[in-house]
Chains A and B, each alone.
Chain A
Amino acid sequence: MNGKTNRPLSRRTILRGAGGAAIALPWLEAMLPRRAHAAAAPARRFIVMFSANGTIPPAWTPTPGTSETDFVLSPILAPLEAHKADLVVISGLEQKGGGGDGHQTGMGGMLTGQLLNAGPFAGVGAPPAGWPVGPSVDQRIAEGLAVPTKLRSLELGVQVGAADNWGRMIYRAANQPLPPDDDPASVYARVFSDLHTDPAVLARLRRRRKSILDGVGAQFSRTSGRLGSSDRQRLEAHLTAVREIETRLTTDLVVNNPSCHDPTITPVSAAANDAFPATGALQMDLMTMALACDITRVASMQWSRSVSQTRFTWLNITEGHHDLSHRPDGDPAGDKLIAINRWYAQQFAALITRLKGTPDGASGTLFDNTLLLWCNELAKGNTHGRMGAPYVLAGGTGAGVRTGRFLRYDGQGLPHNNLLLSILNAMGVPDRSFGKPDWCTGPLTGLI
Chain B
Amino acid sequence: MLRRCSALIALPALLTVACGGDGTTQETFPLCAVDQGPAPLRRITRFEYGRTISDLTGVPASVADQLPPDEETLGFDDIADAYSVSSLHAARYLDVAEQAAAALTANAVKLTAVAGCDPTAVDAACAASFIAGFGRRAWRRPLEPDELAAMVQVYDATSEPGPADGVAAVVAAMLQSPQFIYRPEPQVDPGGMAATEQLEPYALATRLSFLLTGAGPDDPLLAAVEAGALDTESGLLAQTDRLLAGPRAAELFVHVAQQWWELGNVPALDKDRALYRTWTDATGPALAEETRLFLAAAWQGTPNLTTLLTAPFTFVDADLASFYNLPAPGGSGFQRVDLDARRAAGLLTQGAFLAEHAKADQTSPVLRGKFVRAKLFCTTPPPPPPDIVVMAPSVDPRFSTRERFAQHTADARCAGCHLQMDPIGFAFEHYDAAGRWRDVDAGQPVDATGMLTNTDVDGPLDGVPSLAARLAGSAEVARCTATQWFRYAFGRAEQSGGDICAVDKLAAAFTGTRGDGDFRQMVRATVRMAAFRNRPPGGSP
Contacts and interface: CB of A to CB of B under 8 A. Distances in A.
A234 B384 CA distance: 37
Given A163-B70, A238-B85, A245-B90, A208 B158 contact: yes
A395 interface: no
A196 to B, nearest CB: 15
A227 interface: yes
Given A228-B538, A273-B268, A323-B391, 4 more contacts: A176-B85, A212-B172, A227-B539, A230-B40
9 contacts: A120-B71, A162-B69, A211-B157, A220-B177, A224-B178, A228-B539, A245-B90, A271-B268, A327-B389
Interface string A192-221: 000000000000100011011111101110
Contacts of B386: 125
Interface stretch (B113-121, B147-155, B310-318, B324-332): B147-155
Contact of A120 (B81, B88, B360): B81
A242 B89 CA distance: 9
B84 A382 contact: no
Nearest to B69: A163
Contacts of A242: 90, 176
A328 B154 contact: no
Interface string A162-177: 1110000000100111
Q: What 9 pairs across the A-B complex have the smallest Cβ distances?
A: A125-B383, A228-B539, A228-B538, A241-B90, A231-B41, A211-B157, A219-B177, A215-B154, A120-B73
Contact of B360 (A130, A161, A229, A318): A318
A121 B383 CA distance: 15
Interface stretch (B8-16, B182-190, B408-416, B466-474): B182-190
Contacts of B90: 238, 241-242, 244-245
Contact of A212 (B173, B389, B493): B173
A128 B187 CA distance: 30
B248 interface: no
A311 B270 contact: yes
Given A208-B158, A231-B41, A241-B86, A161 B95 contact: no
Contact of B179 (A223, A245, A328): A223
A323 B359 contact: yes
Interface in B165-199: 165, 169, 172-173, 176-179, 181-182, 184, 186-187, 190
Contact of B87 (A131, A222, A245, A319): A245
Identify which of A121, A122, A227 gathers the most chain B CB atoms within 10 Å of its CB.
A227
A227 B187 contact: yes
A51 B181 CA distance: 34
Nearest to B66: A186
B219 interface: no
Nearest to A332: B394
A237 interface: yes
Interface string A329-347: 0010000000000000000
**A131, A211, A218 pick with most chain B CB within 10 angstroms:** A211
Nearest to A152: B87
A331 B392 CA distance: 13
B390 A181 contact: no
Interface in B308-365: 359-361
B515 interface: no
Given A215-B151, A230-B540, A273-B270, A238 B178 contact: yes
B68 interface: yes
Nearest to B165: A208
Contacts of A383: 389
A8 interface: no
Contacts of B437: none
Most chain A C-beta atoms within 10 Å of own C-beta, residue among B73, B87, B382, B391: B87
Interface in B289-321: none
A227 B39 CA distance: 11
Interface in A300-321: 311, 318-320
Main secondary structure of the interface of B (DSSP, over half): loop
Given A164-B72, A216-B173, A226 B184 contact: yes
- Residue of B165, B176, B383 most packed against chain A (CB within 10 A): B176
Contacts of B34: none
Contact of B274 (A230, A241, A318): A318
Interface in A128-146: 128, 130-131
A360 interface: no
Nearest to A176: B84
Contact of B158 (A178, A212, A382): A212
B437 to A, nearest CB: 23
B286 to A, nearest CB: 16
B260 interface: no
B360 A211 contact: no
A404 B383 CA distance: 43
A326 B389 contact: yes
B272 interface: yes
Contacts of B150: 215, 218-219
A162 B77 CA distance: 10
A277 interface: no
Contact of A241 (B87, B146, B177): B87
B541 interface: yes
A181 B214 CA distance: 26
Contacts of A326: 389-391
A231 B83 CA distance: 11
Interface in A91-120: 101, 119-120
Contacts of B88: 155, 178-179, 181
Given A235-B178, A241-B85, A211 B154 contact: yes
A31 interface: no
Contacts of B190: 226
A208 B73 CA distance: 38
A128 B160 CA distance: 52
A190 interface: yes
B94 interface: yes
A220 B178 contact: yes
Nearest to A131: B84
